[in-house]
């Protein structure tokens, strides 16, 4: 029945659960004489009787061993029969899935959060029962159960010791090891129940009363009950203190969105949904590229990376964010058009990869869309499964569950059925049926048993008493009982007082340790940053100096005044503190922090001042705030707006061809194939929108070998402007990538978070580059066309052995540029493009304000031009309106830079609102 619910659990768990019962039954049969066995038992084993003793034990064990073997083989056959369709499908179509990391395989001494969830919480108060479990298991006939418990506990420790990996081999990277901890806790329950009985009115109760008195005995019982209740309440309410899943999401608005206007003709993806992704997918007719279980996935971008689900890609480090980036960069490959986001962490990545947010649904979920994506084919390829496999998979698992339910409730329905059989005369009819009195197996077994009985006769009789088993154990128990004598009243009071004093000392030491942690100034700084990272602004405000801090409302306003990629979309990954100045009432602490975003990571160094006064402990002095104000109080600005009406008439029919706008005309001004110092291939160039309508642009580059066969294809991602105004020019850079995760063995820390990591495309062993092509296409759009940012006071200089561009970003618009994005296009003397750099600015630029920047420029020696024929394809038949060579928007560079000209393009992500 459990195999019908999960195909692996029973195959592994049945051994640990049934083996102790079988072993115990075999041992008991080994010790118990048969009814027809001679009563004489020798006191000593001698050369004359050892053969007869072996034959006696063999005769006792033949039946139980045979029945156990039949049971084991029958169990395995039934288990395999229930899941036979799945195993047959897996064998004929094997899954090459890279092992997906799971915290239950971590070292619990290093990853203490994993130890809390997968070790401490499953055992709970059973941890205090461990000594009793091992004591009873070693010194009683439950030792087979103890052996199973000990092995399960060892396997449940995950990567804390190397033993689980040695025992499980390759299965260690496939199984989630918390199942072993769960099984161990279940198998402990009989012994734990015996401990409770002994504590109430058994040996433990007698010993406590004799040595410490009734008060201590009752106090321990009370503490045990309180501990049980506390452990239960902590377990069920843990997610209230630390959330493991996002808040409940109403799937109805998402389902309605995908069902209207034929949106279900494309695939979709969810971000930040957690386990609710599966519930949403179950209610949708539309397909998605992600999956809730790894066995159903076939895309190389999923099976070659240790990513369980793309919706939580940020929790899987390099492979997770790398796989997500490839799906966002090549959505046309997967017919992916819609993304439902419940996590703002991914917003910058979506925007700068060419996606645009179209709306917020009633449940607060943001809907992102990518234009110009082909619809799914009407008929998708599907592997045909034999009919009998489908019938078995649809009937056997529920049948097994139903039969298990009948077996567990047999005591309630067998008597009524027997009475019904008596009334209908079925019982008498069954009794009259002929039954064979003997079978060949019975006759063979009878002959063998007769011979063994004859061979088990003792040559002579020594004693009628059986030798005691484990005589050393009984001797130790008698000695221990002789040592434990009831204490007098005075001794009981002294021992109880000492026990209470020890408990109070331990509580006091723990309280003092916790208080020292709270008053540690370095920990105060770390907790302050942690509160800001998790948006616990009230707790962060309490850590500021109460005499110099502003009021709470002003504190919140000061936080909102500083926005940007780091302030709004980053998570604190690492922080190191250094004490610069330490005095009795004054301290300066330097913090080196590392923030991660979906686009890149950023480091920051700050110095915090801490003071301590007579009426307050260590506190942080409030950081300075920007007090500058813009010159104008009320700003007016004329704008040019664009709106695409879509369908001219409100109808549920397919969009009319008359409502489809012509594609904007594009011109590819230049394109080149280059390689960096590590041999990574890229195509750089420029595209111009020569139409009168704004364009949503997609640039695709392809590589071919010398025979003209296509090697790889990829789209431009963040290194371009995806939305172009009429007559606007954008640079682009297409970085060819392989499948994310194929070269994970070359990464030192594959699960560390590096959002800017790349999986470079590697040429096949016998292939040589022959040519490249660039394809540019676009559709009309009216979204994300704001160009409020500009750059001035640009200076290119050599600094610290590198080339840098210094300048000032000016926001002349009416909205905040939350994430400024600067593109640097570098040219040679002929005005041909050499390289395209792109940089995301960590601070935002508020309206009518300026921000100083300093950006690195890549060395010319790091870029190699590859002289291969290339072609550019767009939808315009007109000649390019821009002549080759330097243009008026070029900035001359010094000769030592290695480049001749520079062009700066800048835009920003505005963040948007609900």
Measure the CA–CA gap between 258 and 683, rounded to whole angstroms: 36
Percentage of residues in the chain with pLDDT exceeding 70? 87
pLDDT at residue 735 in the model? 92
Tell me: pLDDT of 688 over 50: yes
CA dihedral 186, 189, 191, 192 (to 10 degrees): 130
Side-chain-side CA neighbours of residue 247 (13 Å)? 5
b/e sequence 796-831, b meaning 16+ C-beta within 10 Å = beeeeeebebebebbbebeebbbbbbbbbbbbbeeb
Q: CB-based burial of residue 447 (10 Å sphere; 0-12 exposed, 13-18 middle, 19+ buried)?
A: exposed
Percentage with pLDDT > 90 across the chain: 29
Question: 532 burial class (0-12, 13-18, 19+ CB within 10 angstroms)?
Answer: middle
Helix axes 203-211, 489-518, angle to 10 degrees: 100
- pLDDT band of 1, cuts 50, 70, 90: low
In sequence order, the β-bridge partners of residue 791 are 809
Name the one residue in this structure whose structure tokens are 């058994």: 202
Token pair belonging to 521: 């100034």
Q: Report which secondary-structure segment, H or E, holds 40.
A: none
**pLDDT one-digit tens code per residue, 256-293:** 999 988 899 999 999 999 889 989 998 998 988 887 76
Beta strands at 729-735 and 681-689: parallel, antiparallel or unpaired: antiparallel
Q: What is the mean pLDDT of residues 364-391?
A: 87
Q: What is the pLDDT of residue 64?
A: 85
Is residue 541 predicted with pLDDT exceeding 90? yes
Closest-CA residue to 599 (of 806, 824, 347): 347
Q: Is the pLDDT of residue 221 over 70?
A: yes
Per-state percent for the chain, helix, strand, coil, to nearest 5: 45, 20, 35
Residues 6+ apart with CB under 8 A from 625: 558, 561
Mean pLDDT of the chain: 83
Pull the structure tokens for residue 264. Answer: 């279900």
Per-residue 3-state assignment (H helix, E strand, C coil) for 413-455: HHHHHHHHHHHHCHHHHHHHCCCCCCCHHHHHHHHHHHHHHHH
**Looking up tokens 């990567």, which residue turns up?**
159
pLDDT on residue 461: 53
For residue 355, the model assigns a pLDDT of 95
734 DSSP β-pair partners: 683
3-state secondary structure 669-684: EEEEEEEECCCCEEEE
């Amino acid at each position: 029945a459990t195999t019908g619910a999960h195909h692996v659990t029973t195959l592994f768990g049945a051994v640990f659960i049934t083996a102790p019962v079988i072993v115990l039954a075999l041992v008991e049969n080994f010790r118990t004489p048969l009814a027809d066995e001679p009563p004489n038992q020798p006191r000593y084993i001698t050369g004359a009787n050892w053969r007869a003793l072996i034959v006696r034990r063999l005769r006792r064990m033949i039946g139980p061993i045979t029945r156990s073997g039949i049971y084991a083989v029958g169990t395995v056959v039934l288990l395999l029969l229930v899941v036979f369709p799945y195993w047959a499908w897996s064998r004929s179509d094997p899954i090459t899935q890279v092992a997906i990391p799971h915290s239950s395989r971590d070292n619990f001494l290093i990853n203490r959060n994993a130890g809390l969830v997968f070790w401490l919480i499953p055992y709970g108060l059973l941890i205090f029962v461990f000594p009793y479990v091992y004591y009873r298991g070693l010194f009683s006939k439950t030792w087979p159960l103890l052996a199973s418990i000990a092995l399960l506990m060892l396997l449940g420790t995950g990567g804390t010791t190397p033993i689980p990996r040695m025992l499980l081999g390759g299965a260690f990277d496939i199984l989630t090891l918390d199942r072993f901890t769960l099984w161990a806790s279940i198998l402990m329950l009989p012994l734990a129940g015996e401990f409770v009985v002994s504590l109430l009115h058994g040996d433990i109760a007698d010993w406590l009363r004799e040595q410490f008195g009734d008060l201590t005995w009752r106090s321990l019982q009370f503490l045990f009950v309180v501990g049980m209740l506390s452990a239960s309440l902590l377990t069920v309410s843990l997610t209230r203190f630390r959330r493991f899943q996002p808040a409940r999401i109403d799937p109805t608005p998402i389902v309605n969105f995908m069902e209207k206007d034929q949106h279900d003709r494309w695939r979709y993806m969810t971000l930040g949904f957690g386990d609710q992704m599966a519930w949403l997918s179950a209610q949708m007719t539309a397909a998605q590229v992600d999956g809730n279980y790894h066995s159903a996935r076939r895309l190389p971008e999923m099976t070659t990376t240790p990513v369980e689900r793309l919706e939580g890609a940020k929790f899987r480090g390099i492979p997770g964010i790398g796989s997500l980036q490839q799906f966002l960069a090549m959505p046309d490959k997967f017919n992916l058009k819609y993304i439902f986001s419940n996590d703002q962490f991914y917003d910058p990545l979506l925007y700068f990869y060419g996606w645009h947010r179209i709306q917020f649904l009633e449940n607060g979920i943001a809907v992102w869309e990518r234009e110009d994506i082909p619809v799914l084919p009407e008929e998708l390829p599907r592997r045909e499964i034999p009919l009998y496999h489908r019938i078995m998979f649809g009937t056997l698992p529920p049948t097994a569950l139903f039969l298990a339910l009948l077996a567990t409730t047999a005591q309630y329905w067998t008597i009524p059925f027997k009475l019904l059989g008596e009334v209908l005369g079925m019982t008498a009819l069954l009794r009259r049926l002929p039954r064979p009195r003997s079978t060949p197996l019975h006759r063979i077994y009878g002959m063998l048993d007769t011979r063994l009985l004859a061979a088990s006769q003792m040559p002579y009789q020594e004693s009628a008493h059986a030798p005691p088993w484990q005589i050393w154990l009984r001797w130790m128990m008698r000695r221990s009982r002789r040592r434990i004598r009831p204490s007098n009243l005075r001794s009981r009071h002294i021992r109880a007082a000492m026990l209470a004093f020890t408990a109070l000392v331990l509580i006091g030491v723990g309280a003092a340790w916790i208080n020292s942690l709270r008053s540690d100034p370095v920990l105060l700084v770390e907790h302050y940053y942690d509160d800001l990272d998790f948006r616990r602004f009230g707790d962060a405000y309490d850590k500021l100096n109460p005499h110099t801090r502003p009021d709470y409302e002003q504190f919140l306003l000061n936080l909102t005044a500083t926005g940007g990629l780091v302030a709004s979309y980053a998570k604190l990954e690492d922080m190191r503190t250094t004490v610069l100045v330490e005095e009795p009432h004054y301290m300066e602490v330097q913090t080196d922090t590392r923030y991660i975003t979906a686009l890149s990571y950023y480091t920051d160094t700050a110095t915090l001042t801490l003071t301590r006064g007579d009426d307050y402990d260590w506190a942080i002095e409030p950081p300075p705030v920007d007090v500058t104000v813009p010159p104008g109080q009320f700003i007016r600005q004329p704008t040019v707006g664009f709106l695409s009406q879509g369908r001219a008439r409100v109808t549920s029919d397919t969009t009319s061809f008359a409502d489809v706008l012509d594609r904007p005309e594009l011109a590819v001004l230049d394109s080149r194939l280059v390689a960096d110092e590590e041999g990574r291939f890229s195509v750089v160039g420029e595209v111009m929108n020569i139409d009168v309508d704004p364009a949503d642009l997609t640039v695709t580059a392809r590589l071919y070998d010398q025979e003209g066969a296509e090697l790889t294809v990829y789209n431009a991602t963040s290194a371009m402007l995806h939305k172009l105004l009429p007559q606007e020019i954008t640079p682009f850079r297409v970085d060819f990538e392989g499948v994310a995760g194929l070269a994970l063995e070359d990464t030192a820390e594959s699960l560390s978070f590096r959002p800017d990591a790349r999986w470079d495309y590697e040429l096949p062993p016998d292939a040589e580059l022959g040519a490249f092509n660039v394809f540019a296409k676009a559709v009309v759009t009216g979204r994300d066309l704001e160009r409020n940012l500009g750059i001035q006071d640009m200076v290119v200089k050599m600094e610290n052995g590198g080339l840098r561009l210094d300048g000032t970003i000016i926001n002349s618009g009416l909205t905040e540029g939350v994430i400024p994005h600067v593109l640097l296009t570098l040219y040679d003397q002929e005005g041909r493009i050499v390289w395209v750099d792109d940089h995301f600015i960590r601070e935002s630029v508020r309206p009518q304000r300026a921000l100083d920047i300093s950006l690195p420029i890549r060395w010319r020696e790091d870029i190699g031009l590859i002289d291969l024929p290339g072609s550019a394809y767009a939808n315009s038949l007109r000649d390019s309106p821009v002549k080759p060579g330097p243009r008026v928007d070029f900035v001359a560079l010094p000769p030592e830079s290695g480049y001749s000209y520079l062009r700066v393009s800048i835009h920003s992500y505005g963040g948007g609102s609900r």
